[in-house]
Amino acid sequence: MKDNINNIYKLHNISNIMKANKGFIFMSLIFAFALFFVSFASAVSCGDNNIGSFTTNTNITLRQTCSNCTYVTLSSITSPSGILPVNVNMTKNGVDYSYVVNVAVSGGYFYTVFGNKDGVLSSETFCFDVLPYTKSSLLGIDLSSPFVIVMFVVIFLVACVLLFFFKKVVFAGGLFILLGFLLLFSGFNLILSLVIILGGVIALFLK
């Protein structure tokens, strides 16, 4: 009996601590969700030389077209971690030259090529984005879709309003957990998805 009373007392203390730190928990949730949108706002720009967006841990074909080159060399790749010298000849197929890479780090990438265009050595730089999720998600959700992004924002904001303005803790916590699992099974960043799920679980203790 005494042990049961002690356990109830401990749970009550935990609940009080969480209630006292609602602001911190709220900011943590905001931070996690902000990182979610930073991943979309960090798109690189290089005009018409942007070859598109890709996902982590997939083969990415770097391309260059040159009708009057006898060779094209991939000089370097600039990643979020720095510049990586490559200096390998790209595979030629008619006037198209290609080289396949596979990257594990999301962010903006640039690659520079050079060749003997019209007998004169010239170079060109291209760019592409690597997104922190996989398109082959368990739920078939395309995280790059504006509709999906808006849907996630609405879920997040509704959960925040329910939690901090209407004190609907159970509903808010459930929405946070739902959002976290939707992101998780959509192939989004594992850690950030788990942070949002944990935020929902913690929110339930604010009751």
- List, by residue range, all CATH 2.60.40 domains of the chain: 57-131
Segment 159-196, tens digit of pLDDT:
888 877 887 888 888 888 888 888 777 767 676 777 77
Q: In residues, how long is the chain?
A: 207
Segment 99-149, tens digit of pLDDT:
999 998 888 899 999 999 999 999 999 999 887 765 445 566 666 667 777
Question: Topology of 57-131 in CATH?
Answer: Immunoglobulin-like (2.60.40)
Rg of the chain, C-alpha, whole Å: 24
pLDDT band at 200 (very low <50, low <70, confident <90, very high): confident
User: How far apart, in whole angstroms, are the C-alpha atoms of residue 169 and residue 149?
Assistant: 24
- DSSP class per residue in 80-114: TTEEEEEEEEPEEETTEEEEEEE--S-EEEEEEEE
